[in-house]
């Protein structure tokens, strides 16, 4: 089973030992960030720094002239990843014998929301989510499709993994976050993630809904949740209970259709720009109404569009099963397992977790994240991969 480790350019650049450290884990591939959101990250082995603060969403290479004159465009990184940081890291990793694939974060961009507030998801209360571009807006979709093609197809890359290629919603780790005071289950998260920007309002209208009435219904449904007198869990049945079956299904129809169209367009643009044999995977969740980095998809549809998916499996590999039902020969089902103990990972059980993922249909393994993990975590990974 092929294994790949996630890596940032700043994990590698400036550390002559980094590429060999990753290769010595026993992985055949790295998934190297080419376009990434803002973050603060540890670099526990780097000789020059221990903490990297990526201040805004950025491309980690020099963007080309396709963006000239466009209002929505990617920004290069600052001092945390200057110049062609991706290219330098990719070359070092390839020299260590590793196959390099790009890691591209798309609809998750706080700088875009700060500079262009109209691009953001707007909830039923009128609150904007600056980290979450609305994927229904034509200009935003054009930006995301072009960014996917440019960032994915970097020189020497053999494939790409597209993250956040779909709806992003309320759930988001933010600086000094204080949004956990009321427990929002699946249903509450869905209602708080519905967008009411002009394009989405028109989309709901096309589904036979009055957008003002829908927003009022969302607020009314959530009122007992805020008071703690009604639950907001129960999966999709919980959404229908809170919002009503007709309204719930109409909103989902709009959002599912919108996300599917974007995914098809982005994958198509990557394929048009890429050489033959270039692999295109999506970070995905098999429940289409879910939001976030692992975009909700319909398994049958997405496996007819992309070469496969990367599925979150930390804590259990059950999300693989719906994809396995629709897999064909050559379909990639990559189980993504966290190997950083301090982030909830369990590298000590990696061998058992890998075996279980394989039973449920996994064909490849992803390890999150080689640059963030301690030496002890990496040693556990080496042992587990040696026993494959």
Q: Which helix (H) or strand (E) holds 377?
A: helix 375-386
115: confidence class by pLDDT, cuts 50, 70, 90: very high
Q: Where are the domains of the chain?
A: 2-176+277-386
In angstroms, the Cα distances linking 165 to 210, 246, 294, 303, 315 are 28, 27, 8, 14, 23
Least confident span in 46-60, 83-97, 223-237? 223-237
97-122 mean pLDDT: 98
24: confidence class by pLDDT, cuts 50, 70, 90: very high
pLDDT at 183 over 90: no
In angstroms, the Cα distances linking 174 to 35, 131, 132, 230 are 19, 9, 12, 27
Confidence at residue 172, expressed as pLDDT on a 0 to 100 scale:
82
Nearest to 361 by CA among 325, 337, 387: 325
- Better-scored residue on pLDDT, 149 or 184: 149
176: confidence class by pLDDT, cuts 50, 70, 90: low
369-377 mean pLDDT: 98
pLDDT at 298 over 70: yes
Q: Exposed/middle/buried for 353, CB within 10 Å: 0-12, 13-18, 19+?
A: buried
192: confidence class by pLDDT, cuts 50, 70, 90: very high
pLDDT at 177 over 90: no
- pLDDT tens digits for 62-74? 999 999 999 999 9
Class in CATH terms, 2-176+277-386: alpha beta
261-289 mean pLDDT: 98
- pLDDT tens digits for 234-259? 999 999 999 999 999 999 999 999 99
């Amino acid at each position: 089973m092929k294994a790949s480790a996630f890596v940032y350019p700043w994990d590698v650049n400036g550390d002559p030992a980094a590429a060999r450290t990753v290769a010595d884990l026993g992985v055949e591939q790295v998934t190297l960030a080419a376009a990434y959101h803002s973050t603060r990250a540890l670099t526990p082995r780097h000789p020059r720094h221990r903490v990297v603060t990526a201040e805004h969403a950025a491309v980690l290479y020099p963007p080309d002239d396709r963006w000239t004159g466009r209002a929505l465009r990617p920004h290069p990184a600052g001092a945390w990843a200057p110049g062609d940081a991706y290219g330098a890291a990719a070359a070092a990793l390839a020299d260590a014998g590793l196959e390099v694939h790009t890691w591209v974060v798309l609809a998750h961009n706080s700088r875009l929301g700060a500079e262009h507030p109209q691009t953001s998801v707007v909830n039923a209360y009128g609150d904007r989510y600056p980290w979450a571009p609305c994927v229904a807006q034509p200009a935003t979709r054009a930006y995301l499709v072009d960014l996917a093609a440019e960032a994915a197809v970097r020189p020497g890359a053999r494939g790409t993994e597209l993250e956040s290629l779909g709806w992003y919603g309320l759930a988001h780790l933010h600086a000094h976050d204080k949004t956990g005071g009321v427990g929002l289950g699946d249903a509450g998260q869905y209602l708080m993630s519905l967008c009411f920007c002009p394009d989405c309002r028109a989309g709901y209208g096309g589904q036979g809904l009055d957008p003002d009435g829908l927003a009022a219904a969302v607020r009314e449904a959530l009122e007992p949740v805020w008071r703690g007198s009604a639950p907001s869990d129960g999966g999709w049945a919980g959404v229908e209970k809170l919002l009503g079956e007709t309204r719930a299904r109409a909103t989902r129809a709009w959002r599912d259709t919108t996300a599917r169209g974007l995914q098809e367009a982005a994958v198509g643009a990557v394929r048009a720009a890429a050489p033959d044999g270039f692999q295109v995977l999506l970070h995905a969740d098999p429940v289409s109404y879910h939001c976030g980095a692992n975009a909700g998809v319909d398994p049958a549809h997405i496996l007819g569009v992309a070469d496969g998916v990367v599925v979150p499996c930390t804590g259990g590999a059950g999300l693989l099963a719906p994809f396995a039902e629709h897999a064909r020969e050559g379909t990639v089902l990559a189980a993504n397992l966290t190997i950083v103990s301090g982030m909830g990972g369990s590298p000590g059980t990696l061998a058992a977790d890998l075996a279980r993922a394989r039973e449920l249909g996994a064909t490849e393994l992803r390890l999150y994240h080689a640059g963030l993990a301690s030496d002890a975590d990496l040693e556990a990974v080496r042992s587990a991969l040696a026993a494959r």
